Amino acid sequence: MRRYIYAIVFTSILLSGSCRKDDSTINIFSVQDDIDLGKQLRDEILSNPSEYPVLSPSQYPGVYAYLEQIKVKILNSGQVYYKDKFEWELHVIADDSQMNAFCAPGGYIFIYTGILKYLQAEDQLAGVLGHEMAHADRRHSTDRLTQDYGIQVLLDVLLGENQGTIVQIANSLRTLAYSRNQEKEADEYSVKYLCPTDYEADGAADFFLRLQNEGNSCESGAFFSTHPCPENRVQKIQAQRVELGCSGTQVYATQYQAMVAQLP
């Protein structure tokens, strides 16, 4: 029955004959599908410690407790649409060579030690974390995977009929290239998420500005190879903080460095 319903929706999309731009959204999957797919991807990543050496929460309780309280601040901002629906589960991957973070559909968050050690303050991490959470909350993840793999492939995975593909999809999450419009929207929601908190709501801008000052341009930087850079990104994030009237001023640099010192 589930396949039959998807087939009807898919056929109606094809018959509509409507044109769409590369970054527009065609997402026939339900919110529960996001959660189910994300859970499968989470399980695949955790089952592959050689590729994804995830730190154990029991061995690094201080690190996980610190990250959890940032996540909770974001979720309690009142701006996260799927706050109570998605899992919002955090995992830290011990790989200093990867300056990256990603969020699987359904809110399964993975952060590399490389980016944790590069950031300088808690508000910057909150900004980056909010950005990645926004990709899941705005359902960009399923949208891009649909465009990259096709509806039929994802449908087979969800129905348990193409489990070999789950490995490929899991590996693609860390290099999933969102469109410029999706990156722009994730930047905007990062500010919206942080605005009701005590953080400087444009924390993500400081991270992007440092990357650019160090020569990591939108055209050549490794981070930007998977995070397309909207025009005037830093300025737009900073301007939105002013436009929304965000009053938070806290960066928590000392506390952040104490957490980083606990990493392997």
Q: Mean pLDDT throughout 240-251?
A: 97
Identify the residue with better confidence: 31 or 7.
31
Identify the residue with better confidence: 16 or 129.
129
Is the pLDDT at 221 greater than 60? The verdict is no
| Average pLDDT across the chain, whole number | 83
Tokens of 228: 């397309």
Supply the pLDDT for residue 215. 75
Write phi, then psi, for 133 (nearest 5 degrees).
-65, -35
Return the CA Rg of the chain.
18
Place of tokens 């089952």: 47
For the beta sheet containing 89-93, the strands, ordered from the edge strand earlier in sequence to the opposite edge, are 89-93, 108-112, 101-104
Instruction: State the Cα–Cα distance between residues 117 and 96, nearest whole angstrom.
Output: 8
Lowest mean pLDDT among 123-137, 207-221, 236-250: 207-221
Write phi, then psi, for 102 (nearest 5 degrees).
-150, 160
Strand partners for 102: 110
Instruction: State the Cα–Cα distance between residues 60 and 92, nearest whole angstrom.
Output: 10
DSSP H helices, 99-216, are 113-118, 122-137, 140-149, 151-158, 164-173, 180-194, 203-213
- Residue ranges of domains in the chain: 2-14+27-260
- Report pTM: 0.83
